[in-house]
């Protein structure tokens, strides 16, 4: 795997001259964030050696290198999911490549269902911790000590300093920023009503089908992680027509501008 990671990292560094320290993964419906980027290079995933290809509506499948607030960043517009049939190792491959390109900070966003009674549709939730209910883990298999330790510590999976920066920024700018625990599940079916209630009971505040694998791999490689969920539906309030992917995309794109300002505040200190 190490050789593949190095080959892809070298390809991307040659193509883009990337020298940044931050990578961003944009979730469902949040792809418009790229409008805020002073774009230097755009590469379709299909043109990047060893990259998987994303197949989902709302996920463009492009890697963008550009500047936000004067800082060079690599942005994944569209991510990979376990439910697409990729292995955990395949879908987290880009995070490994970023690290090899010199990236130290990973910013992640996603669309998620609320499992906290106080959350409203359209709210943002800063992720302070997660629960892995995928039933698997991207680090299963032989461990390459050059990438990270066999048993990585996950006690500060989401960087507390960056959370504090975002918390203070949101407070002083009157942006409603909830905080909570993100539960990752495989999907692609949305949760049953009993499952949403169960997730609330075990301490979950939001549930989604991504993020956890990437964050485990980022921690394995000692990257700093900051994450925000957009609450696109509330699992505890049974919707009249059930949850739908289109609803998720619509709400996510409306909340994208607050997310942008929060990410901007974090990028400022990186
Ligand atoms: N469940 C899982 N993933 C999701 C949801 C949900 O309710 N909403 C957006 N992504």
- In whole angstroms, give the CA distance from residue 87 to residue 80: 10
- In whole angstroms, give the CA distance from residue 34 to residue 138: 28
75-106 pLDDT, tens digit each: 999 889 999 999 999 999 999 999 999 999 99
**Domain 2-268: CATH class, spelled out:** alpha beta
Q: Does the beta carbon of 119 sit less than 6 angstroms from any atom of ligand 1? A: no
Task: For ligand 1, pick from 29, 83, 112 the residue to mutate: most ligand atoms within 8 Å of CB.
Answer: 112
245 tagged catalytic = yes
Structure tokens that stand for 69 in this block:
């607030």
Q: Which helix (H) or strand (E) holds 8?
A: helix 2-16
> φ, ψ for residue 40 (rounded to 5)?
-105, -40
Domain-by-domain residue ranges, the chain?
A: 2-268
CB neighbour list of residue 64: distance below 8 Å, 6 or more residues apart:
34, 37, 39, 41, 42, 43, 74, 75, 77
Task: Give the active site residue among 74, 88, 101, 111.
Answer: 111
21-77 pLDDT, tens digit each: 999 999 876 767 777 789 999 999 999 999 987 666 655 689 999 999 999 999 999
- Sole residue written with tokens 């966003």: 109
- Sole residue written with tokens 């921690």: 219
Using the Cα atoms of residue 50, residue 7, residue 24 and residue 256 in order, give the sign of their dihedral.
Answer: negative
Q: Whose CA is nearest to atom 2 of ligand 1?
A: 208
């Amino acid at each position: 795997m190490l050789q593949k990671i190095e080959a892809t990292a070298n390809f991307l560094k040659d193509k883009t001259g990337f020298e940044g320290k931050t990578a961003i993964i944009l979730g469902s419906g949040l792809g418009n964030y790229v409008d805020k980027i002073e774009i230097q290079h755009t590469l379709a995933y299909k043109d990047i050696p060893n990259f998987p290809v994303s197949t989902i509506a709302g996920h463009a499948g492009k890697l963008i290198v550009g500047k936000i607030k004067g800082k060079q960043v690599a942005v994944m517009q569209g991510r990979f999911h376990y439910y697409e049939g990729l292995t955990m190792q395949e879908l987290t491959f880009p995070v490994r490549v970023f690290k090899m390109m010199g990236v130290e900070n990973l910013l992640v966003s996603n669309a998620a269902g609320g499992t906290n009674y106080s959350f409203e549709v359209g709210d943002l939730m800063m992720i302070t911790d997660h629960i892995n209910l995928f039933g698997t883990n991207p680090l299963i298999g032989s461990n390459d000590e050059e990438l990270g330790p066999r048993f990585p510590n996950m006690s500060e999976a989401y960087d507390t300093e960056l959370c504090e920066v975002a918390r203070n920024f949101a407070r002083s700018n009157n942006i409603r920023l909830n905080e909570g625990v993100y539960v990752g599940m495989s999907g692609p079916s949305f949760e049953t009503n009993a499952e949403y209630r169960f997730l609330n009971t075990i301490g979950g505040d939001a549930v989604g089908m991504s993020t956890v694998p990437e964050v485990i791999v980022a921690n394995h490689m000692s990257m700093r992680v900051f994450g925000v969920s957009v609450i696109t539906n509330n699992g505890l309030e049974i919707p009249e027509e059930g949850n739908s992917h289109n609803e998720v995309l619509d709400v996510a794109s409306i909340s994208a501008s607050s997310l942008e300002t929060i990410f901007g505040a974090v990028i400022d200190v990186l």
